[in-house]
Copies of this chain bind each other. A is one copy, B any other.
Amino acid sequence: MMLANKYMWAFGVFAVSNLALMMFAAVITTYMAPAAAGSGIPEVKAYLNGIDAPEIFSFRTLVVKIVGCIAAVSSSLHVGKAGPMLHTTACIASLLAHTGSHKYGLTWRWLRYFKNDRDRRDLVTCGAGAGIAAAFRAPIGGVLFVLESLSSRWRSALLWRAFFTTAVVAVVLRAFIDFCRSGKCGLFGKGGLIMFDVTADNVSYRLSDIPPVIILGVIGGILGSFYNFLLDKVLRIYTIIHEKNRAFKLLLAICGSIFTSCCLFGLPWLASCRPCPGGISEACPSIGRSGNFKKFQCAPDHYNDLASLFFNTNDDTVRNLYSAGTENAFNKYSILLFFVTSYFLGILSYGLVAPSGLFMPVILTGATYGRLIGMLMGSKSTLDHGLFAVLGSASLLSGSMRMTVSVCVILLELTNNLLLLPLVMLVVLISKTVADCFNLGIYEMLLRLKGFPFLQGHAEPYMRQLTVSDVVTGPLQVLNCVEKVGNIVHILETTGHNGFPVIGEPPFSQIQVLYGLILRSHLLVLLRKKYFLSSRFSARANVFDQFSADDFAKCGSDRHDGIGDIVLTAEEMEMFIDLHPFTNTSPYTVVETMSLAKAHMLFREVSLRHLLVIPKFPSSAPVVGILTRHDFMPQHVTNLHPFWMRGRNKLFQFRNSTVINMFRGLWL
């Protein structure tokens, strides 16, 4: 249609097909699996920290994520596919760990060994690594990304397992690419195992090239943190709109899609046509296929450079920007316009209700930014503009996502240019240090926005001044070793706690002592199985006859652990349960005078869910309180002790001084 000068028709078809795809993605996300919206990386990160957000690993989310991501990326929306791919593979791993989906009858008995928190978490970690490895065809980068940005705990055995997983990914990918070499799988095999090969580029740089690279790093850091800042603001506005009504979500998606279509189609008109360069093997202008030189509205033997950037797959655009010897292919203003559009479209598109990733927009925007810097440097630098584009991607990635080693390795595996490594490392370090002065990394920001109680690796400085007894709150719910059924039901109904201290009392022990800790889920199993005693001292049945280990195994995401569906008669309510055999008799404990920071370390390093606080000196109550993840949240602590806030603000001002921050970025 463009060739036949039917421009309005062309725009109509383009916009309508985009809108249809986008609506499809938005509708299935909104009505079938709202948890599938966004990239999913924050949710996986939260899960690996110990937070079970509802539905994030369900079978329905998996299906919507896959289908929705394909639709959203196809709809020309400025979003990536790496994040959703990571979520998809993590989802598959989690479903495997739950011995498949019970709801859909897909279960495997041998997988039951994974049916516990630790092994499931390990499996999800490996799955997430596989996702990144597949998205970037970067097996080592995948492992490192998970290690650096996602995982909260790490064991050396896990490194080896994650590595095994990504090795399988690499071998399978390689086999598929071989199979698809002759072009029978569409765009898939393109680029081989290395997506943006720039080996051919001659990397020779001198000392005089270092200052431009440093400038690139500094500005990249600022742009990256500004990206996070804007994204935060936009997402807050979107959240307000989304909370009003489901229809508003769809309306926002429609607006986003139409706006994107207008930008993509409208902006290339601003660029002037350029004559085709001589002596190239490619057809120019390229018509009817995914090529580098788009004709758009130009005369024969001319091309529109902005259209070449806009009307390509993201992968192809990045490949064009990275390639060497193309200094004159693009106009300075075209690149600037594309950079600005890409920067803001990326921010506006992410929050729309569809599966969408952040990686590709950031890589693309960064590549444009790098090219721009290269063009502005002009003859002051001998570095190729393609290499500037690679450095720009590195700088924006580390400025917004604050990754270091993983960015370097992923870019190394994407571009296959080892000689560039020292420069990439330099840029990454500068960008991260600069960006850390301003705000948090993008994933931490998204975690806060979603309100997950994410437990940081280190305690806040003011926590050293507080003791655990300062943050213990609320009336403590305790159970006796032999407890009345009615009491247990009442406590389960009125509180949401997941663990309860069990007290040994006369006649089972001489004085009141802390016997142990029992979990809510185990109490529910006991109630459901009606393991009751008629009186406090009647004979106990053999536990092993009535229960097997499977009964207490962690249940899957399609859980039925409500207290509501257990029906008990009034008679049963008067009976007793002997909790002795089901109590964890050696829970981790701390004395009430321990500093909060120290307890935080124990809680975090040993991955606890409950930590019992015992009195320093023997008193009437053998247990003072129970600490959970929420008690360590800075917000909770500062709410309880508002006077600390002042000191904290002072500290914050201190921390904002740049020099201190650079030091802090390195050593804290």
Spell out A's residues near B (CB within 8 Å). 119, 139-140, 143-144, 147-148, 154-157, 159-161, 163-164, 166-167, 170-171, 174-175, 178, 192-194, 199, 206-207, 404-405, 408-409, 412-413, 416, 418-419, 421-422, 425-426, 429, 432, 457-458, 509-511, 513, 585-586, 588-591, 593-595, 598, 601-602, 605-606, 616-618, 665-668
> Which 4 A-B residue pairings sit nearest by Cβ, starting from the closest?
A586-B594, A167-B425, A605-B605, A170-B422
- Chain B residues within 8 Å of A591, by CB: 585-586, 589
Q: List 30 interface pairs A-B (beta carbons < 8 Å), by A numbering.
A: A119-B667, A140-B405, A140-B409, A144-B144, A147-B159, A148-B156, A155-B457, A155-B458, A156-B457, A157-B457, A157-B458, A163-B404, A163-B408, A163-B425, A163-B429, A167-B429, A171-B422, A171-B425, A171-B426, A192-B419, A193-B418, A193-B419, A193-B421, A412-B418, A413-B421, A416-B419, A513-B617, A586-B594, A586-B595, A589-B591
- Chain B residues within 8 Å of A586, by CB: 590-591, 593-595, 598
Choice from B171, B405, B509, B666 contacting A143 with Cβ under 8 Å: B405
Complex formed: what's the CA distance from A144 to B595 in Å? 34
Q: Report whether A174 and B408 are in contact in the complex, using a CB–CB cutoff of 8 Å.
A: no
- Chain B residues within 8 Å of A193, by CB: 418-419, 421-422
List 17 extra interface pairs beyond A163-B425, A171-B422, CB under 8 A.
A139-B425, A140-B408, A140-B421, A147-B159, A155-B458, A160-B432, A167-B429, A193-B422, A409-B409, A413-B418, A413-B421, A513-B617, A585-B591, A585-B616, A586-B591, A586-B594, A605-B605
- A608 CB to closest chain B CB, in angstroms? 10
- Chain B residues within 8 Å of A594, by CB: 586
Choice from B166, B616, B618 contacting A511 with Cβ under 8 Å: B618
Majority secondary structure of chain A interface residues (helix, strand, loop or mixed):
helix
Complex formed: what's the CA distance from A412 to B138 in Å? 13
- Chain B residues within 8 Å of A616, by CB: 513, 585
- Chain B residues within 8 Å of A170, by CB: 421-422, 425
Complex formed: what's the CA distance from A175 to B161 in Å? 37
- A97 CB to closest chain B CB, in angstroms? 12
- A161 CB to closest chain B CB, in angstroms? 6
- A125 CB to closest chain B CB, in angstroms? 13
Q: Report whether B404 and A667 are in contact in the complex, using a CB–CB cutoff of 8 Å.
A: no
- Chain B residues within 8 Å of A199, by CB: 199
Q: Report whether A161 and B425 are in contact in the complex, using a CB–CB cutoff of 8 Å.
A: no
Choice from B192, B588, B617 contacting A509 with Cβ under 8 Å: B617
- Chain B residues within 8 Å of A509, by CB: 617
Complex formed: what's the CA distance from A602 to B608 in Å? 11
Q: Quick one: closest B residue to A119, CB to CB?
A: B667
Q: Report whether B421 and A139 are in contact in the complex, using a CB–CB cutoff of 8 Å.
A: yes
Complex formed: what's the CA distance from A53 to B663 in Å? 31
Complex formed: what's the CA distance from A160 to B618 in Å? 45
* Given A416-B418, A422-B171, A404 contacting B147 (CB threshold 8 A): no
Complex formed: what's the CA distance from A591 to B585 in Å? 9
Complex formed: what's the CA distance from A164 to B432 in Å? 11
Q: Quick one: closest B residue to A415, CB to CB?
A: B418
Complex formed: what's the CA distance from A598 to B589 in Å? 13
Q: Report whether B618 and A602 are in contact in the complex, using a CB–CB cutoff of 8 Å.
A: no
Complex formed: what's the CA distance from A160 to B402 in Å? 10
- Chain B residues within 8 Å of A148, by CB: 156, 159
Choice from B154, B409, B513, B589 contacting A589 with Cβ under 8 Å: B589
- Chain B residues within 8 Å of A458, by CB: 155, 157
- A136 CB to closest chain B CB, in angstroms? 12
- Chain B residues within 8 Å of A666, by CB: 160-161, 164
- Chain B residues within 8 Å of A192, by CB: 419
Complex formed: what's the CA distance from A418 to B414 in Å? 10
Complex formed: what's the CA distance from A598 to B585 in Å? 12
- Chain B residues within 8 Å of A405, by CB: 140, 143, 159-160, 163
